[in-house]
């Protein structure tokens, strides 16, 4: 089972260039989380900071009770063994075949016999659909296969924490969906804490249990998927719709004049270039049939039900429909109570203050910020893909 990862008030800069400031969040154990944000907002920097490849100037990174910014080198070495990391390009050794690339962590960090190493390595290669390709070099295979080989290597140490950097990088939409399905299947099997760094809208809507968003060097929001997918926070709503209307500009935050001009322009009937935001919460991708149920999903739903009365009424209605509960809105005077804590970061998994208030239309409601108590190619895939009401419920496994 995965472990909880918490950051408190992290600040990272390169020289005089501040990347992000005061980032506090929690990755619940065993759940899949995604960190979103426009390009250049420091998402990959955050991921590398979690594993100790980069060192923030301020704050804490607490992994299984240990602050890695203040622990000894030997302690950090042991903590890193808890991680599996999938980099954007797979980061494979070009002179090694896929088998040796996958076996490398076992040979480097364990004293296992070669027979044990082979058993584990072939098991992980089979898990990602690369049996039969183990003798190929990275330069002889497609980008999608390299990505899967990198994932197999990340899995050989049976990680408790998986870090995934831009899983859609270099992949077409179909291969991206297959990769997302593979990540969900792996989470179902080993219940590891997973963080995906991405700016892919489809991944954001369908994959994670929890979502966070970086913008303007701060964490705008972090919470269960149901909360962000129903949020009226301007920057979150704009990002998830892919719209030009909102605080996010081409290179920086828009000023008030730009916001007013574009609002008038689009009110005159011009398209905003985005996609319509559905009233219903997009269904979450499920493990492939035959896989065990995801425990992380069950824990998240229990947590959402716990905080439901404190959410805005619009969010309550959508969430009840998504969870299969009573679709009638709750008769709870939650609007005021639900926003009482908004605007201040009170805990590791807190919503950040709304720093966009002066540059965007104010949100019609706010999201509570308390943390619940239990927050704890050449590779053509084959198989059938039956399109039904939810096209993600019968995705095939990889078979090369």
Domains of the chain (ranges; CATH) run: 5-214 (3.40.50.300)
**DSSP3 helix / strand / coil % (the chain, rounded to 5):** 35, 15, 50
Spatial separation of the C-alpha atoms in residues 321 and 206, rounded to whole Å: 16
Q: Is the pLDDT of residue 306 over 50?
A: yes
CB 285 within 8 A of CB 202: no
The confidence score (pLDDT) of residue 272 equals 56
pLDDT of residue 332: 41
pLDDT-wise least confident of 61-75, 129-143, 261-275, 276-290: 261-275
Beta bridge partners, 7, equal 25, 61
Q: What does the pLDDT read at residue 268?
A: 54
Given a cut of 90, is residue 212 above it in pLDDT? yes
CA-atom Rg of the chain in angstroms: 21
- Who contacts 288 (Cβ-Cβ below 8 Å, separation ≥6)? 181, 185, 395, 396, 397
Tell me what the mean pLDDT of segment 301-322 comes to: 88
pLDDT digits (tens, 9 = 90+) for 78-124: 999 999 999 877 688 989 999 999 999 999 988 999 999 999 999 99
């Amino acid at each position: 089972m995965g472990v909880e990862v918490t950051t408190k008030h992290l600040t990272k800069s390169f020289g005089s260039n501040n990347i992000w400031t005061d980032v506090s969040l929690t990755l619940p154990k065993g759940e899949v989380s995604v960190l979103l944000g426009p390009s250049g907002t420091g998402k990959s920097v955050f991921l590398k900071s979690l594993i100790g490849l980069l060192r923030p100037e301020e704050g804490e990174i607490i992994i299984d009770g240990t602050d890695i910014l203040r622990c000894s080198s030997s302690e950090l070495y042991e903590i890193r063994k808890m991680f599996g990391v999938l980099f954007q390009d797979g980061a494979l050794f070009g002179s090694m075949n896929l088998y040796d690339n996958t076996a490398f962590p076992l040979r480097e960090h364990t004293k296992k016999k070669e027979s044990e190493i082979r058993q584990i390595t072939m098991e992980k290669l089979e898990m990602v659909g690369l049996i039969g390709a183990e003798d190929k070099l990275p330069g002889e295979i497609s980008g999608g296969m390299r990505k899967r080989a990198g994932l197999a290597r990340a899995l050989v140490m049976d990680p408790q924490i998986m870090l995934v950097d831009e899983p859609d990088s270099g992949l077409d939409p179909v291969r991206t969906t297959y990769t997302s399905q593979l990540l969900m299947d792996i989470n179902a099997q080993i219940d590891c804490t997973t963080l995906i760094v991405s700016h892919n809208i489809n991944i954001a809507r369908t994959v994670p249990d929890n979502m966070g968003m970086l913008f303007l060097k701060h964490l705008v929001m972090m919470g269960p998927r149901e909360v962000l997918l129903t949020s009226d926070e301007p920057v979150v709503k704009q990002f998830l719709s892919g719209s030009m209307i909102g605080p996010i500009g081409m290179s920086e935050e828009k000023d008030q004049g730009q916001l007013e001009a574009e609002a008038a322009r689009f009110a005159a009937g011009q398209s905003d270039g985005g996609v319509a935001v559905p009233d219903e919460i997009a269904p979450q991708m499920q493990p492939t049939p035959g896989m065990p149920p995801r425990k992380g999903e069950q824990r998240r739903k229990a947590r959402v039900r716990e905080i439901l009365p404190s959410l805005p009424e619009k969010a309550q209605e959508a969430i009840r429909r998504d969870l299969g509960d009573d679709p009638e809105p709750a008769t709870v005077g939650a609007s005021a109570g639900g926003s009482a804590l908004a605007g201040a970061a009170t805990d590791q998994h807190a919503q950040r203050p709304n720093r966009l208030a002066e540059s965007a239309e104010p949100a019609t409601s706010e999201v509570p910020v308390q943390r619940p108590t239990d927050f704890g190619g050449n590779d053509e895939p084959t198989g059938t893909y039956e399109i039904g009401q939810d096209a993600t419920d019968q995705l095939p496994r990889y078979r090369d």
